[in-house]
Structure 1
């Protein structure tokens, strides 16, 4: 499954990179309400939970679906403007079109990618029924905010904007934003320069799992759902983020720029294919036994064959599977090749699996 952005025919002016205080705040709130997704931010999350007023934390948690798994579209840049203040971003939340607010909220609360179009009576009724039916099965809190959104969408937009304003002006977030803003600004400059040199295809650099193809020229991001968009028709805003890691977010709403929010980190999630390859490689008793022995000390094929009472050919076949998955490393010592475990890859397998699912 993948998200495909067709960049063929798009002009450089249709790509904009910008740091967004609102988008970073949304990523921050997501980390606070979904700490299990952000193992690398535990200390910062703990300090935030201590510093933030309990009443504000309660409001943040009540409206957590808006900055949850789906992340509401109104939390990201709404146009290609490169110089937008935090107050202007908050006003964009208040002014977000009512029909789009209803559609976005439904997807966030139900956590589905189902296509709703609230502007049409028949789909608006389906949306209302889905919200009321599904949220009753989810939780009382989600049922409550779903009812409120249906009854008073204008008031809810204002309430969400007020929560964002309160959270964004708290000392804890302001310290974090002041610390990371220069890094985000530097990233924006780098990406804009790459855009001028290489064109729209350079957006592939925002994800370690992205692949590029020709005819038409396109970038394919590894995701857990399918989506397709043409930059020539929609334009793109790239939003670097510190707090969003390990999530890579692509938001596509008709009539608005495509948003790509990507985390700045040293090593991103590895591909689903490699994760599956590694799990498959370890799904064999003989290979697990080989791992057991070479973890303790590097061994040659002949040693492993003797230890496991099997042929060298059988050992070689299994070692090849483990090497191809990046779990075993061969080191030549004269005429002998000894094999050892790639302990970092094995140790991180569970974490990589989680990060790739969250990506």
Structure 2
């Protein structure tokens, strides 16, 4: 499970690290709409929400499905312009100019991305020209509420008018709270981008990916980058039709989300969080998390864990305690050990087993990070 990026033959100079004010505005709006996802930002979200003009807050609700439950590719428009630079602009105004360069079909498909997430990799007909796609988009928007339905109708009937409305909305967000926030965080993001560029140039891609996120890896041949996420997808950084290149964009508002733009016909982008509050051992992979949850789901292993959490036991002691055979106990212990949930140590000629309470405790936070990543 995960998203793969084909980089076979991609020159290293086409891999870039760069901040994006528009992408960060998207994440800031997401944090405001989903504060429970970002407890570390509680002070900022509470203060910003309290200071928002009621009219602006009301209008943000009309388009909030572009940043609340999914992240519209509109906010990374630089990746969707054929033959463009493929890089974010330095200012929000310049990035909004790039959004204006998106053709209506790309703009509308990206704005309504939440309507067909399951078909993201396959693409689908444009709702501007295909009646069934239009009906699907409106049906999905209606399920989210009358405001979203009204916005979607306006978008499909008058894309140009909605473009003007949306640009002004984002400019008002900049005036209300984002400009000051961006002035504060941009220097750190630029410094991080420079640092990771240096790591890439001097230590290579594996080292750079390790610094970006433990959820990213590259194969030995350096042809495929894999993002460990609870979603399947694939894209390429070498499509000459849109332009070659791969961009890594830092975010202060994004944790725990590690986003990978892998839309058909768009350059890939990895949006990675800064200052991830990881535990000393680092977050577990999705595969490891699945193994751990499956290991603990078995009734007998749950009962064994009750004892193993309190004190070390030998296989024979557990067999006698629970009335099962020693080989059965060994099989259950083997599953727990492969999942990294149990320690074994020798005490004379006996092997004593005990539950790793720290690993078990991390399942909750690892699960939350895994499903939000």
Aligned residues: 356
Q: Which of 193, 204, 217 matches 1:188?
A: 193
Using structure 1 for the length normalisation, give the TM-score: 0.87
Question: Does residue 267 of structure 2 align to residue 257 of structure 1?
Answer: yes
Q: Decide which of 103, 122, 126 is 1:118's aligned counterpart.
A: 126
- The answer (yes or no) to whether the contact 1:103–1:117 under 8 Å persists in 2 is no
Contact (CA 8 Å) 1:94, 1:154: kept in 2 or not?
Answer: no
Q: 3-state SS of the aligned residue for 2:47?
A: helix
Paired with 1:286 and 1:81, the residues of 2 have a C-alpha distance of 54
Counterparts of 2:265 and 2:298, CA distance in 1: 50
Secondary structure (helix, strand or coil) at the match of 2:29 reads: helix
- 1:75 deviation in Å? 0.6
SS of 2:225's equivalent in the other structure is strand
2:111 to 81, 105, 114: 105
Alignment of 1:189-268 (within 5 A): 189-199=194-204, 204-205=209-210, 206-214=212-220, 217-233=223-239, 234-253=244-263, 256-264=266-274, 265-267=276-278
Deviation of 1:292 after TM superposition, in Å, equals 1.1
Partner of 1:289: 303
* Deviation of 1:159 (Å): 1.9
Deviations along 1:191-223, one digit per CA (max 9) or x if unpaired, are 211222355555643332334325672112233
Helix, strand or coil for the counterpart of 2:306?
helix
1:307 equivalenced with 2:321 (yes/no)? yes
Partner of 1:72: 72
Please give the secondary structure, in 1, of the residue aligned with 2:309: helix
For residues 356 and 60 of structure 1, the distance between their equivalents in structure 2, rounded to whole angstroms, comes to 28
1:272 counterpart = 2:282: no
Secondary structure of the residue aligned to 1:260 is strand
Q: Is the 8 A contact 1:210 1:221 kept in 2?
A: yes
Corresponding residue for residue 59 of structure 1: 59
Matching of residues 149-188 of structure 1 within 5 Å = 149-171=155-177, 173-174=178-179, 176-188=181-193
Change (3 A) 1:174 1:120: closer
- Contact 2:336–2:342 under 8 Å retained in 1: yes
8 Å contact from structure 1 (residues 281, 322) kept in 2: yes
Change (3 A) 1:214 1:348: closer
- Mapped partners of 1:299, 1:45: distance in 2: 48
**Structure-1 separation of matches of 2:164 and 2:101:** 9
- Taking a change above 3 Å as real, the CA distance of residues 308 and 106 of structure 1, as seen in their structure-2 partners, is same
In terms of mean alpha carbon deviation, does 34-43 or 94-103 score higher? 34-43
Unaligned runs of 5+ in 2: 79-84
Give TM-score scaled by structure 2 length: 0.84
Distance 1:331-1:42 versus aligned 2 partners, 3 A rule: farther
Aligned mates of 1:49, 1:335 — CA distance in 2? 63
Instruction: Go from structure 1 to structure 2 and tell me whether the alpha carbon gap of 1:95 and 1:231 turns closer, same or farther (over 3 Å shift).
Output: closer
- Equivalent in the alignment of 1:355: 369
